[in-house]
Structure 1
Amino acid sequence: MNQNEKAKAFGALHRKGDPVVLYNIWDAGTAKAVADAGAKALATGSWSVAAAHGYPDGEKLPMSVLVETARSITAVIDLPLSVDFEGAYSTEPAGAAANVAKLVDVGAIGINFEDRVVEGDGLYPVEKQTARIRAIREMAEGKNIPFFINARTDLFLAESDLSKHAGLVDEAIERGRAYAAAGGSGFFVPGLIEPALIEKICAASPLPVNIMMRTGAPDLTALAKLGVGRISYGPGPYRSMMEKLKQDAAAIYSRL
């Protein structure tokens, strides 16, 4: 498939009630392992890619390193690749679009794009975030790529008290609808695990909803029944792999 075909195929995988499952990767080696396991598409996780290079999350990883990581994956794996691009390393619409263009140029067909102010506090106002999404969509259309913008809201991830999540749903729905109108392709609500709230957002969202697996989240079958269109694993695979590496190394060194 060429890049345009990959982008179309990736978008088609997002089906309400029959979600695409993305076991997040962080380099070409893990991309190959997940592809060989039967994945239909690939997606990086920002936390994992940063940690694999020795950096904390939050756009601390140099953007050039992230772009080269994407290039190394698309060079060896013929599956659609979505890149977790956090806030696109820019607060302004034009800068965000120009930075996303660098990923398009190395073969990526989608991004996660969050509304958290990475180097500040809270979330962008809806008007500012929609302007950023709109600029990215216009850039992608200029390149004739049906680029998948997975518009993420951090409303739930930022609130650790799960009992308060119900009070955030209406704002989340409002943001999701606004992001859709601006050119978003999917709506990502990491941190949300309550089945009734997930179902409510899926029913109200004009975009396929992405849920991130975490402790307490419904399983894959249950999420599909709730109407989810995409399921991802975030930093979970990296943490699991690193824990296994530490255990294996400790077992060896303990014998010395």
Structure 2
Amino acid sequence: MEFKNLHYQDTPLVIANVWDVPSAKTAESLNFQAIGTSSSAIATLLGYQDGEEIEFSELEYIIKRIKSSTKLPLSVDLESGYSRNPIEIAQHIKKLSNLGVVGINIEDSIVEPARTLLNAEKFSQVISKITEILQKENIKVFLNVRTDTFLLGHPNSVEETKKRIKLYENAGANGIFIPCIEQETDIKEIVNFTNLPINVMCMPNLPNFDTLNKLGVKRISMGNFLFDKMYNQLKDITEEIINKKSFKPIF
């Protein structure tokens, strides 16, 4: 099934967020339908802060290694595009497409040095230009546009999200990603506002998958939470080894 069609199934597409070859292979062994990278996890893995500190060439190399290890459809977290220039962003997407990537996430905030929302109208123009270039070059990549209204705690998060969805939809977005949305009423209102598939992310108070399905959510992501949990466990086990002066905690 084509990656785009996975967003229109009877049940939501649950994406395993990966950061390297072993995590991608684990997702494939568990029969996930698709995988997506976590920019935060990859940045941490390479010793960077999240927010485009990593060079695009470094990201490209990791994507090449991940894609060579799995047959699963792969979507890449492109942050804000690793450029503010839509022509350069489109070239980045083209390079990823040439590696076999079938989708990208692009977000409407940047970290300079604190994360802030970009102007919605200007960002929608960037999306429009990107989609125009991709269509001209016949590059078929699912454009999942992330809005950080909830992540950044916008005071009118629902209304601001709806405003941005309409702009991004008109600019050619294929899907909308809203990290940090949790309340059922907010999710329902936004799902009912657009025909685009809505993507939510792992959060402490996010409803379970059955409830999200009933609310009309079409894509569920894990973000960097699994990565963080794994490394917290690494710390705990290593500390136990030191305290017990034994390798028994591993086994």
- Normalising by structure 2, we get a TM-score of 0.91
Question: Which of 179, 190, 199 pairs up with 1:190?
Answer: 179
Counterparts in 2 of 1:1-256, with a 5 A limit? 9-15=2-8, 18-119=11-112, 122-159=116-153, 164=155, 167-256=156-245
**What root-mean-square deviation, in Å, do the aligned CA atoms of Structure 1 and Structure 2 show?**
1.7
Q: Deviations over 1:72-92 (max 9, x none)?
A: 111121111001111011112
Deviates more, 1:90-99 or 1:186-195: 90-99
What is the CA distance between 1:17 and its match in structure 2?
5.8
Q: Deviations over 1:51-102 (max 9, x none)?
A: 1111110111121111111111111211110011110111122222122222
Q: Which amino acid aligns with 1:32?
A: K
Q: Distance in 2 between matches of 1:111 and 1:139?
A: 15
Classify the secondary structure of the residue corresponding to 1:112.
strand
Q: Deviations over 1:205-255 (max 9, x none)?
A: 121000111111111111111110100010111011111212222222223
How many aligned positions are there? 244
Which protein has greater RCO, CA pairs closer than 8 Å, 6+ apart?
1
Q: Distance in 1 between matches of 2:244 and 2:171?
A: 59
For residues 24 and 74 of structure 1, do their structure 2 counterparts lie closer, same or farther at Cα, with a shift above 3 Å needed?
Answer: same
Classify the secondary structure of the residue corresponding to 1:205.
coil
Q: Which amino acid aligns with 2:235?
A: K
What is the CA distance between 1:177 and its match in structure 2?
1.7
What is the CA distance between 1:15 and its match in structure 2?
2.4
Q: Deviations over 1:96-150 (max 9, x none)?
A: 2122222122221111100013336632222211122123223332442321111
Could you tell me whether the CA contact under 8 Å between 1:186 and 1:208 is conserved in 2?
yes
Classify the secondary structure of the residue corresponding to 1:9.
coil
What is the CA distance between 1:16 and its match in structure 2?
6.8
Structure 2: 5+ residue stretches without partners: 246-251
Q: Distance in 1 between matches of 2:86 and 2:55?
A: 19
Could you tell me whether the CA contact under 8 Å between 1:96 and 1:132 is conserved in 2?
no
Q: Distance in 2 between matches of 1:39 and 1:142?
A: 32
- Normalising by structure 1, we get a TM-score of 0.90
Same amino acid, percent of matched pairs: 36
Structure 1: 5+ residue stretches without partners: 1-7
Q: Deviations over 1:150-180 (max 9, x none)?
A: 10111110018xxx4xx32122112112111
Classify the secondary structure of the residue corresponding to 2:111.
coil
